[in-house]
C-alpha cells in the first residue's frame, strides 16, 4: 500500500475524507495566533511534536509581521507624509512576511504533510480565521462492484 | 444479488438533522457547469453588499451615501479659493498661501479617496466546511429550523474577559473588536463606524486614512476660512467697509459660509477621533460604553490600550498595514479533479439507483433525493460522500 504521495498526486487523485480546523487563539490579544493544541483527529496521522512545531513557527511568523517597532513606525510615518501613496508602489512589511509564510506552508506540505496524506491550507486563504487541514483518504475511490 | 451503489453518509451529519451541505446531485450539476465556464474573479461572487470597480481594485459600499456631496463641497470651495482669493493674497501677502493650500487640498482628496475605496478590513465569510465544524462544536442537539439563542465564546485578553459573539450571517465567531455592518452586510475588523460622508465603513485598514482625512480637512477648512477672512479684511481696509469687499469678491462669501458651518463639526470630529486614537478605542466601543464600566462595578478597562498615549497613537496610526483578507482580484478556485472524479461516480450511482429502482426510498439516504435544490452554487463544495458497496437489503 502506497503511503507516500506527492503533493500533486494528492490533489489530483485522492478523495477528501475530512477537514480539521485549528481556530485562532485570542488570549494574547488581537495578534494573529493559532491554537497549538493538537487536534485528536490527527493523532493517527502525524507526530504531535512535529505539528506543534509547525504551528509555533507559523505563530512566530505572524508575530513578526505584526510587530510594532522602529521599522514599522518608520514605514508608517513615511506613508503618512506621502499621504499613503507609497503603498501603491511599495510592498509593506506585512505583505513581505505573508509571502514568507506562504513559502513556509508550501514547504511544510511538500516535505512533511503530503507524504502523510494531509494538506495545510495557508490561513490567509481563509481570512486568517483558521488553519484548515485536509485529511485525504488513503484507499482508492470508485472501487468496483 | 445485484449490488447497488449507496452513498455513505457521515454519521455525525445524520444524527443532527441539519441540512448540512450534502446536495450531491445539485452540486454535481453545478460543478459540471462550472468546468465549462472561464475562471471568474472572487469579487464577482462576493456575498456582501459592496460594489467593485476597475476589475476589483476599488471597493465601495452599496450606497455611495453623500460621497459625491463631500467631494463636491471640497472641490468647489477650494477651486473658488484658488480662483478668487489666491491672486489677491499672492499679490498682497505671500506665495506660501496658495502653496500650503495646494498641499492641504492634495492631502484631503487623496486621503478621502483612499478611505472610500479601501477595503476597511472585511472578514470573508466562513466556508461551508468551517461553518459545519463550528456548528458541531457548539451544539450537537436541536434542530436548526429556528435560530438558537445567541452564541458567545469567552476569551481572556490582558487578564480581562471578553465575549466573542457568533455572527449568523458570516457563520463564525467574530474576532475581538469586530462588528457586523448591516449596511454593507460584512463583518469588519476593528469596526469604527459606517461613514456616509465617505461612503464606506471605517475599520482597521482604513482608519488611518480616515483620520488623516478629517485632520487635514480641519486644517484646510480653518486655513481657507482664515485666508478668506484676511482677504475680505484687506479689501475692506481704508474705511471702505465689509459690504464693499463682499461685492468685489462674492465668491468669498460662499466660501465663508461653507467653511463657517463645516468647521465646527469637522473640528469636533477631529478632536473626538484624536481622543479615540489616544485611548485606543473605536467609536463603536465608545458609544456602547464597552469599557467605561457603565455595566456594573467590574473592573473593566480597555484591554487593548497600552496605557500610554504615544504608544496608542503609534500603534493605531503607524502600525503595520494589514493586508486585505478578501482577495478581490484572485480567481475562483477551479474545482479540484479529485472532487469531479468523485462526483462523476456519484452521478453514475444516481443513475443506477433510479434505473434499477431496487431498494425502497426509505432505505436510501434521505438527503440524496428529497432535498430541494440549492439556488446558490457553492464555491467550495465539501465532499464527504464516497460510493460504498454495502447493500443494506
pLDDT tens for A96-109 read 889 999 999 999 99
List of chain B residues whose C-beta atoms are within 8 Å of the C-beta of residue A79 = 321
Question: Which one from B170, B187, B195, B201 is the annotated catalytic residue?
Answer: B195
- Assigned domain for A71 exists: yes
Domain count, chain A: 1
Tens of pLDDT, residues A105-142: 999 999 988 888 888 988 888 888 888 888 887 654 44
Q: Does B335 touch chain A (CB under 8 A)?
A: no
- Assigned domain for A52 exists: yes
> Is pLDDT above 80 for B186?
yes
Interface of B with A in 265-284 (CB under 8 A): none
Residue A60 pLDDT: 92
Option in A15, A17, A21 nearest B133 (CB): A21
- The strand pairing partners of B52, in sequence order, are B59
- The strand pairing partners of B187, in sequence order, are B123, B180
- The strand pairing partners of B167, in sequence order, are B172
Q: What are phi and psi of B120, to 5 degrees?
A: -70, -5
Between chains, do A124 and B323 touch, taking CB under 8 Å as contact? yes
Residue A56 pLDDT: 92
List of chain B residues whose C-beta atoms are within 8 Å of the C-beta of residue A28 = 157
A9 vs B269, higher pLDDT: B269
Q: Does A102 touch chain B (CB under 8 A)?
A: no
Q: pLDDT > 90: what percent of chain B?
A: 22
B1 vs A9, higher pLDDT: A9
B51 vs B388, higher pLDDT: B51
Option in A11, A84, A132 nearest B209 (CB): A84
Sorted by sequence, the CB contacts under 8 Å of residue B13 that are 6+ apart come out as B20, B22, B384
Does residue B65 come out as left (phi exceeding 0), alpha (psi in the -120 to 50 range) or beta? left
Q: How many CB pairs under 8 A join A and B?
A: 138
For residue B42, give the DSSP letter: G
Tens of pLDDT, residues A42-84: 888 888 898 899 999 999 999 888 887 778 888 888 888 887 7
Contact B49, B188 (CB under 8 A): no
Residue B370 pLDDT: 42
Q: Does A6 touch chain B (CB under 8 A)?
A: no
Annotated active-site residue B367? The verdict is no
Tens of pLDDT, residues B108-153: 999 999 999 888 999 988 888 888 888 777 765 444 555 555 578 8
- Assigned domain for A128 exists: yes
Between chains, do A27 and B339 touch, taking CB under 8 Å as contact? no
List of chain B residues whose C-beta atoms are within 8 Å of the C-beta of residue A85 = 110
Beta carbons within 10 angstroms of residue B195's beta carbon: 24
CA-nearest of B270, B284, B272 to B211 is B270
Distance of CA B317 to the CA centre of its chain: 19
**Mutation for testing the B interface, residue in A127, A132, A133, A137 having most B CBs under 10 Å:** A127
What's the mean pLDDT when you consider all of chain B?
75
Residue B265 pLDDT: 92
Poorest-confidence range of B69-78, B187-196, B295-304?
B295-304
Option in A17, A65, A137 nearest B320 (CB): A65
- Assigned domain for A145 exists: no
Band (B239; pLDDT cuts 50, 70, 90) = confident
Band (A11; pLDDT cuts 50, 70, 90) = low
CA-nearest of B191, B142, B178, B184 to B18 is B142
Between chains, do A98 and B158 touch, taking CB under 8 Å as contact? no
Residue B246 pLDDT: 81
- Assigned domain for A101 exists: yes
Residue B25 pLDDT: 45
B378 vs A66, higher pLDDT: A66
> Is pLDDT above 90 for B272?
yes
CA-nearest of B246, B213, B241 to B85 is B246
Q: Does B107 touch chain A (CB under 8 A)?
A: yes
- Assigned domain for A30 exists: yes
- Assigned domain for A3 exists: no
Poorest-confidence range of B35-39, B118-122, B213-217, B356-360?
B356-360
B109 vs B55, higher pLDDT: B109
Poorest-confidence range of A60-64, B66-70, B264-268, B348-352?
B348-352
Residue B158 pLDDT: 77
Going A109 to A110 to A112 to A118, the CA torsion angle's sign is positive
Residue B224 pLDDT: 92
> Is pLDDT above 50 for B34?
no
Q: Does B157 touch chain A (CB under 8 A)?
A: yes
Mean pLDDT over residues B367-375, rounded? 43
For residue A41, give the DSSP letter: G
Sorted by sequence, the CB contacts under 8 Å of residue B6 that are 6+ apart come out as B349, B353, B359, B364, B365, B387, B388, B390, B391, B392
- Assigned domain for A119 exists: yes
Q: Does A89 touch chain B (CB under 8 A)?
A: no
The pTM score is: 0.74
Tens of pLDDT, residues B276-302: 999 988 898 888 887 765 554 445 677
d(CA B262, CA B279): 26
d(CA B328, CA B27): 24
Q: Does B177 touch chain A (CB under 8 A)?
A: yes
Domain region containing A116: 14-37+45-136
Amino acid at each position: 500500500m502506497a503511503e507516500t504521495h506527492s503533493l500533486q498526486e494528492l490533489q489530483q487523485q485522492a478523495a477528501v475524507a475530512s477537514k480539521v480546523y485549528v481556530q485562532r487563539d485570542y488570549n494574547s490579544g488581537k495578534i494573529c495566533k493559532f491554537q497549538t493544541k493538537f487536534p485528536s483527529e490527527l493523532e493517527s496521522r502525524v507526530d504531535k511534536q512535529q505539528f506543534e512545531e509547525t504551528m509555533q513557527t507559523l505563530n512566530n511568523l505572524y508575530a513578526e509581521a505584526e510587530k510594532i517597532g522602529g521599522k514599522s513606525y518608520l514605514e508608517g510615518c513615511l506613508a503618512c507624509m506621502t499621504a499613503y501613496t507609497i503603498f501603491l508602489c511599495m510592498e509593506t512589511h506585512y505583505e513581505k512576511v505573508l509571502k514568507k509564510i506562504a513559502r513556509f506552508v508550501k514547504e511544510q506540505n511538500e516535505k512533511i504533510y503530503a507524504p502523510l496524506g494531509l494538506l495545510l491550507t495557508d490561513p490567509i486563504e481563509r481570512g486568517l480565521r483558521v488553519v484548515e487541514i485536509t485529511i485525504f483518504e488513503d484507499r482508492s475511490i470508485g472501487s468496483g462492484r | 444479488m445485484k449490488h447497488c451503489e449507496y452513498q455513505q453518509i457521515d454519521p455525525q451529519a445524520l444524527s443532527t438533522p441539519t441540512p448540512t451541505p450534502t446536495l450531491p446531485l445539485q452540486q454535481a450539476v453545478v460543478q459540471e457547469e462550472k468546468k465549462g465556464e472561464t475562471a471568474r474573479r472572487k469579487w464577482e461572487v462576493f456575498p456582501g453588499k459592496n460594489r467593485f470597480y476597475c476589475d476589483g481594485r476599488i471597493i465601495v459600499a452599496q450606497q455611495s451615501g453623500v460621497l459625491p456631496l463631500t467631494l463636491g463641497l471640497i472641490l468647489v470651495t477650494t477651486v473658488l479659493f484658488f480662483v478668487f482669493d489666491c491672486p489677491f493674497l499672492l499679490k498682497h501677502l505671500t506665495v506660501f498661501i496658495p502653496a500650503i493650500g495646494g498641499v492641504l487640498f492634495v492631502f484631503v482628496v487623496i486621503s478621502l479617496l483612499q478611505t472610500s475605496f479601501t477595503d476597511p478590513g472585511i472578514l470573508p465569510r466562513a466556508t461551508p466546511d468551517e461553518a459545519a465544524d463550528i456548528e458541531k462544536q457548539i451544539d450537537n442537539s436541536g434542530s436548526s429550523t429556528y435560530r438558537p439563542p445567541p452564541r458567545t465564546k469567552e476569551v481572556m485578553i490582558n487578564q480581562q474577559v471578553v465575549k466573542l459573539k457568533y455572527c449568523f450571517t458570516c457563520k463564525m465567531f467574530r474576532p475581538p473588536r469586530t462588528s457586523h455592518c448591516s449596511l454593507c452586510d460584512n463583518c469588519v475588523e476593528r469596526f469604527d463606524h459606517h461613514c456616509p460622508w465617505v461612503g464606506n465603513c471605517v475599520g482597521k485598514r482604513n482608519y488611518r486614512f480616515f483620520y488623516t482625512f478629517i485632520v487635514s480637512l480641519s486644517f484646510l477648512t480653518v486655513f481657507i476660512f482664515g485666508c478668506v477672512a484676511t482677504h475680505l479684511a484687506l479689501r475692506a481696509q481704508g474705511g471702505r467697509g465689509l459690504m464693499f469687499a463682499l461685492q468685489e469678491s462674492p465668491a468669498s462669501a460662499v466660501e465663508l459660509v461653507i467653511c463657517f458651518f463645516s468647521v465646527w463639526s469637522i473640528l469636533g470630529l477631529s478632536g473626538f477621533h484624536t481622543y479615540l486614537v489616544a485611548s485606543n478605542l473605536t467609536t463603536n466601543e465608545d458609544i456602547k460604553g464597552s469599557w467605561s464600566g457603565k455595566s456594573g462595578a467590574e473592573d473593566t478597562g480597555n484591554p487593548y490600550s497600552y496605557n500610554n498615549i504615544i504608544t496608542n497613537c503609534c500603534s493605531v496610526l503607524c502600525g503595520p498595514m494589514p493586508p486585505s483578507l478578501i482577495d478581490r482580484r484572485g480567481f475562483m478556485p477551479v474545482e479540484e479533479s479529485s472532487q469531479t472524479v468523485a462526483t462523476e461516480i456519484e452521478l453514475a450511482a444516481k443513475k443506477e439507483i433510479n434505473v434499477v429502482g431496487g431498494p425502497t426510498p426509505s432505505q436510501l439516504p434521505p438527503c440524496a433525493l428529497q432535498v430541494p435544490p440549492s439556488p446558490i452554487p457553492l464555491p467550495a463544495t465539501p465532499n464527504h460522500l464516497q460510493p460504498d458497496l454495502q447493500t443494506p437489503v
